[in-house]
Amino acid sequence: MNWEGQNMNSRTLSFNRPVFRNAIRRCWPLWAVYLGYLIVTFTVNVLSFVQRSRWDTESFLYNAKELIYNNAVFQARASVVVGILAVMVLFGYMYNSRGNTLMNSLPVKRESLFLTVYLTGLIPMLACQVLVAGITLLLSLKSGISPACFLEWLACAALGLLAFYGFAVFCAQLTGNIIILPLVYAVLNLTAIVFETCVRNCLATLIYGMTTEKMQFYFLSPIANIADKLNVTRNYPVEVRLEGMGVLAAYAAAGLVFSVLAVLLYRKRRMEAVSDFVAIPILKPVFRYCMGFGAAFVFAAVMNSNFFRITVSGAKAAWMMAALLQIGAFLGWLIAEMMIRRSVRVLPLPWKGLVIVCAVCILTVVAAESDLTGFERRIPDLDKVEKVELSNDNTVFSDPANIHAAAELHRRIIENKALYDGNSDYMILYSGETAFATTEYDATGDAWGGLDPQQVFSYWLPIRYVMKDGRSLTRMYTLHFRAEDVDRPESVMGQVRALLNTAEGIQSRMKPDLPMEEQFINYAVIEKETADGGVEHSYRLTPEETVELWNTAMLPDAADGNLSLFTIADTEENLKTQTNLRIDINLFDQLRLHDPHYWYHSYRVFTFSERCLEWIEEHCDLEWENMADVYEARTDAALPLA
């Protein structure tokens, strides 16, 4: 009998009350547990705080509001689990032959049956949220807590439920196996962020300068994005805000859209699909392709990150990546076929689709290695650039001259890709206007083709252009060099150090994210280092001393170009200019939970940092030496470079 196409002659409704009442009687323990969960995690929590607090204090309403908002964020995130559990209970009949046959034999349209079961899950959970919010409000009304706080809590919890319940219902239509359902739900929630991370990892090996940090499709992973965007920020004692409600509302709207899509899939879902990994026949080819591409890049990224990335580059990396992608695609395609057929006997495989996946992977490698899109050569129009961020040490340039210098440095690095990126036969090191080649780096660390490994350095240089319209362009480069290159103005590393140590570069590193005020100083210390990097003596600064040192010594020395300098490499000459004193400052705003609330910086004191040395001599019992003498004084510690 064709169950999908047959219509009963009896009356049909868009919402079936008998089915609704039956589902309520069957699932009431679930709602009772959910109600108890809300009472324990919210009502008891709020009332306990109200009872142990003094209502007449200035901080009471502030802290109460913060408590309610934090719980609202928790409830929205907990909906990730609540949604899938509710769907597994309510739509569990779809994964049981007897229950599926019984439900679909009722004189009710499939759309009506779906809507009834869907609302049976949604309405009681929303009712529990309303009931708990109302009870908690009434019991705490005398304390003076604003009813608006409870309304925001309710809105946050309800939106989170709509988002993840709707998506879970959609996922339930894709599979006929209730054990696989949670896995499908979790995978689809995280597919975008995992897949993009793996793709970027693979492409970064092939595309010179590509970074793996910036995610374009992060918003397609609701769990990760809500965890990042939905938060409580506070500015004591002025206000507490619940941020990210717009993002949550967008996901709730998406949840409703997925609910509509679930109806369409439910109409075409075969009753015989019970226990099938893929319940919708038309989606089986899609599942194969998703598994093929997904497994290809995940396998390649995992193998690349753990075994090959350090020792392989250039054309050899392209061949390696192509091979890894082929292996991953085959494994993914094979596993998908096993899941679809529910058997390990799947040979021969449907090879045409597998060939397409493998061909696309190879074309991707070719396009990346040949820079078909011009990604590697792209430098933005400098007239549209607002600022350039160089290195990860708070160095920012907004002066047009420095922006042009950064772009020129970037252009020179691009032109010398072969010298820095390596190829199948050599690891090339660039030194000023000449290049010298060594055999590929020995993975054991014993040799760099005859060069003493201590004579070869690597410097990680991120470059980020921030445009006037808010867009950005980011590149990452690893520059190989010898120590003497840093002292040569014509070398790339000489240009790097000169640009980082310009007046604007130094001043940008002297601008903490938080005010240098006593209330924000978490700790500050002056340490006297040993040759092996340990601490021989230290002096803990009070907040008052930190502010004084910063304003009277550190800022003036930096203005003269005598502090916050980049040395790049510790040559003997550089070590003679560095003392064994280091100033560490940590700022922390405990009243702000979000960007920025924490700042840390470490400053090396130089032999020509006169004001800092005078202040330390006057206030601290710390005698300094230059680092070259510190190394020389130890019989078992040679200079880093001969």
Distance CA 290, CA 327 (A): 15
427 has pLDDT over 60: no
pTM of the complete model: 0.78
Sorted by sequence, the CB contacts under 8 Å of residue 623 that are 6+ apart come out as 528
Strand partners, 585: 524, 601
The predicted-structure confidence for 49-107, as pLDDT tens digits, reads as follows: 888 877 666 678 888 888 999 999 999 999 999 999 999 988 888 887 776 667 666 66
pLDDT, position 247: 94
pLDDT digits (tens, 9 = 90+) for 609-634: 999 999 999 998 888 988 888 877 76
- Mean of per-residue pLDDT scores for the chain: 83
Q: Does pLDDT of 2 surpass 60?
A: no
In this predicted structure, the answer to whether residue 593 has a pLDDT above a threshold of 60 is no
Phi then psi for residue 458, to 5 deg, are: -130, 140
H/E element, 188: helix 180-206
Q: Could you read off the pLDDT of 110-163 as tens digits, one per residue?
A: 788 888 889 888 999 999 999 999 999 999 888 888 899 999 999 999 999 999
The answer, yes or no, to whether residue 596 has pLDDT greater than 80, is no
**8 Å CB contact between 570 and 640:** yes
Q: Tens digits of per-residue pLDDT, 571-587?
A: 778 888 999 999 999 98
Q: Report CA torsion sign: 6, 8, 14, 16.
A: negative
| Beta bridge partners of residue 241, listed in sequence order | 233
Q: What is the share, in percent, of the chain residues with pLDDT greater than 70?
A: 84
Q: What is the pLDDT of residues 187-221, one digit of tens each?
A: 999 999 999 999 998 998 888 888 876 778 888 89
Residue predicted with more confidence, 392 or 386: 386
Cα gap 632→321, rounded to integer Å:
47
What pLDDT score does 309 carry?
Answer: 58
Helix runs in 240-308, H state only: 245-268, 284-303
Per-residue pLDDT of 255-290, as tens digits, reads 999 999 999 988 877 777 777 888 888 889 999 999
Between 368 and 426, the higher pLDDT residue: 368
Tens of pLDDT along 284-317? 999 999 999 999 999 999 998 887 655 566 778 8
- Give the model's pLDDT for residue 28: 81
One-character DSSP codes across 335-401: HHHHHHHTSS--PSP-HHHHHHHHHHHHHHHHHHHTTTT-TTT----GGGEEEEEETTTTEEE-SHH
Q: Which residues, other chains included, contact 105 with Cβ-Cβ below 8 Å and sequence gap of 6+?
A: none
- The answer to whether 521 and 506 are in contact (CB under 8 A) is no
CA distance linking residue 78 with residue 226, whole number of Å: 11
Write down the pLDDT at residue 380. 93
* Residues forming a β-bridge with 482: 456
Q: Name 603's bridge partners.
A: 583
- In degrees and rounded to multiples of 5, residue 626 shows phi and psi of -80, 155
Question: What's the mean pLDDT in 492-511?
Answer: 91
pLDDT reading at 537 higher than 50: yes
Q: How confident is the model at residue 312, as a pLDDT? A: 60
222 to 217, 231, 261: CA distances (angstroms): 11, 14, 18
- Reported confidence tier of residue 236, pLDDT bands at 50, 70, 90: low
